[in-house]
Structure 1
Amino acid sequence: MNHLLSLALSFSMLSLLAVGGGTAVLPEMQTLLVHQFGIDHLHFVHIYSIGQIAPGPNMLMVLVIGFQVAGLLGAGVVLLSFFLPSSILCFYVGRIWNRFGESPWRRSIQNALEPISIGLMASGVYAVAKSSIVSPITLGLALISLYLILRTKINPVFVILGSGLLGYFLLKYF
């Protein structure tokens, strides 16, 4: 039961800190999982990868984390803890936000939150990259994937799947 309470409190906090989306809290989530729940960095990257290629919102990956820590009940606790607090907060803040209309104060807050959101998302990308780029092969695959996603019209799902398959064979045989 202690794990469930710890999961609920941890993921509720992450939910409220996820300014700009779930990617913004990936570094904190990764640190939390390593120190509190014993999920190592590589395992976290694998769970994150599943979330990226699975249909639906990519942050549903938190269900896998909850399941890993405390089974089916843990997945349910994490689901509610991660999505409910921020949803309730957004609902009420949205109602208040609309009352301000086109106030200069509202625009100032929006302008301040934009770079914060971008910075938090970039830190999330960095945290995942730091844990997953562990050799020249993985660095090459990451750079090729980045190039293909930015410069071509290839569906990113195919790039990710192709990189995963190529990485599997390269890392297994070289």
Structure 2
Amino acid sequence: MRRLLLVTCSALGLLALLPVNGALAVELPVRKAGLWEMKVLSGGSVPEMTMQQCTDETTDKDMSTAMSPVAKEICSKQDIQKTATGYVTDSVCGVAGMTIKSKAEINGDFNSAYTVKTSSHTEGGMGGAPRDSSSTIEAKWIGACKSDQKPGDIMMPGGMKMNINDMQKLKALIPKQPAK
């Protein structure tokens, strides 16, 4: 259960990094095509998680476009700024009765490696008590996608494989947040 929660929070964290079309003057660059390894490091007792994603230019652009409506629906704030060393994002999103305020610092070149350091504050949800957390995603390009992979494939721990292009289907599963 704890691992599923980490995967869900990581997915939400990655979602918070996606630009909302039309709302941001700055967009993150497209990653180099091929196979990217992403290590998610969280503090505390949650173990490190490593996943791989096969991508190409179209998939990276489509991911932003496809997820933008979802982010627009669940996030009341989505800011991104270019800095001297990378990017900084600031977002407030709500899902499943939780409000997640997060800030991320993104550094790297998107051709060989990048790092995302995220801090977040969560309120509401099943636990009820406010919770602060931080995580780091270390991503590195490891080469061409494997022969049995197609752009958008994400290989999760334990051998689970999903395709980011199917994520749009998950939009229907995210409960709508009541207007505040």
TM-score > 0.5, shorter chain as reference: no
Greater Cα radius of gyration, structure 1 or 2: 1
Q: Structure with the greater relative contact order (CA < 8 A, sep ≥ 6): 1 or 2?
A: 1
Structure with the higher fraction of residues in strand conformation: 2
TM-score (norm 2): 0.28
TM-score (norm 1): 0.29
Structure with the higher fraction of residues in helix conformation: 1
